[in-house]
Structure 1
Amino acid sequence: MVAPLPALPQGFLFRRRSESGKLSCVTHARSVRARQHSDQRRRAFCFLVASLVITFAVAAFAGLNATISLAASYFPNLSQTHLAEGKAFLNRGDVAEAIAEFRAAIRLQPDHAEAYYNLGYALGRQGDLDGAIAAYAEAVHLRPHDPAYADVYANLAHALGQKGDLDGAIAAWKEVVRLHPGDTEASANLQLALRKRGDLDRVVVAWQEAIRLQPGESLAYAGLATTLTEKGDLDGAIAAWRHSVRLNENDALAQLNLGVALGQKGDLDGEIAAYREAIRLKPNDPDFAEAYFDLAYALAQKGEVEEAIAAWRKAIRLNPTAGSERKRLGLARTAQGSLERAIAAWQARIRVDPADAFAHFKLGIALGQKGDVAGEIAAYREAIRLRPHDPNLAEVYHQLGKALAHQGAWRDAIETYQALARVKPDDPRIKHSLGDAHRVLGLTLLEKGELSQAIEQLGMTLRFDPANEEAKRALASALLTERTQRR
């Protein structure tokens, strides 16, 4: 309910306002309304400012989250960029820059296995084996069961092998085989590491496991055959080589090795047949001249000298420098036969290549075994004439000295041993051989009554062999006899 207006005092009359009074009232009313509008505007402005602050704060927060999300998604891409740059540097041969890029990729993405792998490879190229091993190890630690990382295990195995850590290398190769069971190259490297450790039984087991996993793989049988040969199991080796050539009839090397195994077993006909098959597969390959050498020795042992000569000539035409190892093997096999065949084989070899000092040496040995000392000495002298200063022929000097001593040519024997000392001063047999030659010559001269020369030779004996009691007694006797004669 609205309160009534108060009563006007008596005598109070409304008067007509002047214009100024009217204006004054209007102005007052407008002033009140202006203040009201101003308050409203201030309130609206404050509300607007507050709204803007809140809006900007929300926007800023949302923007920060977006920035963080963008950065999180950007770093892996940046890491990949560093990886790509590193690979490019590596391809250009700039290993140091490549390493820096790979490290940058890892800093941005610490679980980047591929970056660790490439870092390991680059460090290995730089010669930092320890760094390479650490990087490879981290890569496979991050991806231990990924078949795509079998190559990383392989690189790790190679690096560990170079460091001499055979156990570590073996463990790494086993991981490669685990990830790629059919990888015959990895199996071969595993067997090689086991062989270096001397564990041939485990090598055999590993090859047998490889064959179980890949029964149609000829290389696995070849590896097994090689290991069985090292173990002395020729029957097992021959069986494995036969499996290998059955699986790969065009494998000339397997045929060659089958022939070698058959030859060691004494199956001369089988040996020759295997060599002929190997030659049929690679008749004009200079790297395969060894097959002709092997065939030549086998034919010579069988007494087929002319065919042996033809095989030797073919081998020399293909590769004049080949055959050193085969020569030694050939000697071992020809020595198993009759001496006559061995002598014929080496004489045939000399007919093909008269400058072959090795063949002259081996002919000398065969002649010596036959009892032809003069022929033996002549063969040794020819070998030395062909290669007079070759320390690899130290054995020729030694055998010549022995043959001369056997003939009683002690002075010549001493000269030969002295020549050996000049050619190969560190030969451990020199002192003993010279001491023995001087001793025998001294005793011989003492028996002949040539005291001064005997004393000289016996003194030389004690120079090379101070503990030789026989030489001491003989020298004392010679000195006493000489003193007595002077009186």
Structure 2
Amino acid sequence: MKPEEVEVRSSLARILWSLGRKEEVREETASVERLSQRQHQRDQSSYSLARGNLLLDQGDLNGAAELFREALKFDPESARARNNLGLALARLNDPQDARRELEKAIALDPKLALAYNALGTIYMQAEQISEAEAAFQKAIRVDPQYAEAKSNLGALYAKLGRNAEAVALFKEAVEDSPQYPQSYLNWGLVLASQGNLSRAKEMFEKALQLSPNLAEARKALQIVEETPSKQN
């Protein structure tokens, strides 16, 4: 319930009091108290969620998970807190609990593309290919410009040898989000596997330009630079 709705109910209670309708006043007053408490809980949940997000970005996964759990104590229906707890647990190598939280997040908000994408990553790591594909595709259906999900689905297709489909997705991902480095890295890996080293080198360099600490891109670039080039 929004704060302005609490104010409306408070005003209604005052009007009812002036009309002598005391029983209805008691009902409205009780309703206002419940709504105010609920709003306070949501505010506390949002605060814990924001702090958890900060720790997640800083790599403090245990601290982030604890704050996301705290957020859920205040607001068990927070889909974003469920999702972010799932992300933290996945990075803590707890895929079973991570998947459980992500599925709960989706149940709360079926339009939460982030959760489908995270589920897809967990399935992909577990070699559950069809489940991973379905999750990434769902993320893209929910958010047609979701570059990370397109890049992940492309990486899955590349793993399966479906390079044409993979490259098409990488191109879309780059168009949707030119600042997302993983798309360039994934695209470069496919190009390198096809022997197009000069073009792969460009992709790895672009990924590193956007994210200088992207170790996989730096390693891939080193390998390409040490490999004799071929005419493509």
* Same topology, TM > 0.5: yes
Structure (1 or 2) with the larger CA radius of gyration:
1
1:294-321 superposed Cα distances (whole Å, 9 cap, x missing partner): 11111121222332233233334434x2
**AA aligned opposite 1:224:** L
CA distance in 2, matches of 1:269, 1:349: 28
CA distance in 1, matches of 2:195, 2:226: 25
Report how far residue 244 of structure 1 moved. 0.8
Residue aligned with 2:110, SS: coil
Q: Is the Cα–Cα contact under 8 Å of residues 297 and 345 in structure 1 kept in the other structure?
A: no
Alignment of 1:299 onto 2:157: yes
CA distance in 1, matches of 2:192, 2:162: 13
**AA aligned opposite 2:119:** L
CA distance in 2, matches of 1:281, 1:242: 15
The change in CA–CA distance for 1:265 and 1:201 in structure 2 (over 3 A counts) is: same
Match of 1:263 among 124, 127, 141: 124
The change in CA–CA distance for 1:200 and 1:252 in structure 2 (over 3 A counts) is: closer
CA distance in 1, matches of 2:53, 2:189: 39
Q: 1:134-213 residue pairs with structure 2 within 5 A?
A: 180-183=40-43, 184-192=45-53, 200-213=61-74
Q: Is the Cα–Cα contact under 8 Å of residues 150 and 170 in structure 2 kept in the other structure?
A: yes
CA distance in 1, matches of 2:48, 2:63: 12
Q: Is the Cα–Cα contact under 8 Å of residues 290 and 322 in structure 1 kept in the other structure?
A: no
Match of 2:201 among 349, 352, 357: 357
CA distance in 2, matches of 1:294, 1:245: 19
CA distance in 1, matches of 2:220, 2:165: 29
The change in CA–CA distance for 1:350 and 1:261 in structure 2 (over 3 A counts) is: farther
Q: Give the alignment's TM-score, normalised by structure 1.
A: 0.31
Match of 2:181 in 1: 324
CA distance in 2, matches of 1:241, 1:267: 16
Q: Is the Cα–Cα contact under 8 Å of residues 192 and 224 in structure 2 kept in the other structure?
A: no
1:237-258 superposed Cα distances (whole Å, 9 cap, x missing partner): 1221111112111112222222
Report how far residue 207 of structure 1 moved. 2.3
**AA aligned opposite 1:227:** A
**AA aligned opposite 1:296:** G
Report how far residue 225 of structure 1 moved. 0.9
Q: Structure with the greater relative contact order (CA < 8 A, sep ≥ 6): 1 or 2?
A: 2
The change in CA–CA distance for 1:394 and 1:189 in structure 2 (over 3 A counts) is: closer
CA distance in 1, matches of 2:171, 2:76: 40
Match of 1:216 among 54, 64, 77: 77
Report how far residue 221 of structure 1 moved. 0.3
CA distance in 2, matches of 1:315, 1:349: 22
Alignment of 1:239 onto 2:100: yes
Match of 2:148 among 273, 286, 290: 290
**AA aligned opposite 1:289:** A
The change in CA–CA distance for 1:275 and 1:349 in structure 2 (over 3 A counts) is: farther
Report how far residue 230 of structure 1 moved. 2.7
**AA aligned opposite 2:163:** V
Unmatched tracts of structure 2, length 5 or more? 1-38
Match of 1:115 in 2: none
CA distance in 2, matches of 1:296, 1:396: 18
Match of 1:92 in 2: none
**AA aligned opposite 1:315:** A
Report how far residue 218 of structure 1 moved. 0.5
The change in CA–CA distance for 1:243 and 1:358 in structure 2 (over 3 A counts) is: farther
**AA aligned opposite 1:182:** R
1:342-362 superposed Cα distances (whole Å, 9 cap, x missing partner): 9767556969xx745255x6x
Deviation >3 Å, runs of 4+: 192-203, 316-319, 342-351, 392-404
Report how far residue 211 of structure 1 moved. 2.2
Q: Is the Cα–Cα contact under 8 Å of residues 279 and 292 in structure 1 kept in the other structure?
A: yes
Match of 2:87 among 226, 251, 271: 226
Residue aligned with 1:250, SS: coil
The change in CA–CA distance for 1:282 and 1:343 in structure 2 (over 3 A counts) is: closer
Q: Report the identity percentage.
A: 22
**AA aligned opposite 2:201:** A
**AA aligned opposite 1:324:** P
Q: Is the Cα–Cα contact under 8 Å of residues 82 and 102 in structure 2 kept in the other structure?
A: yes
CA distance in 2, matches of 1:355, 1:198: 33
What is the aligned-residue RMSD (CA, Å)? 4.0
The change in CA–CA distance for 1:300 and 1:239 in structure 2 (over 3 A counts) is: same
Paired residues in the alignment total: 181
CA distance in 2, matches of 1:402, 1:350: 14
CA distance in 1, matches of 2:147, 2:221: 30
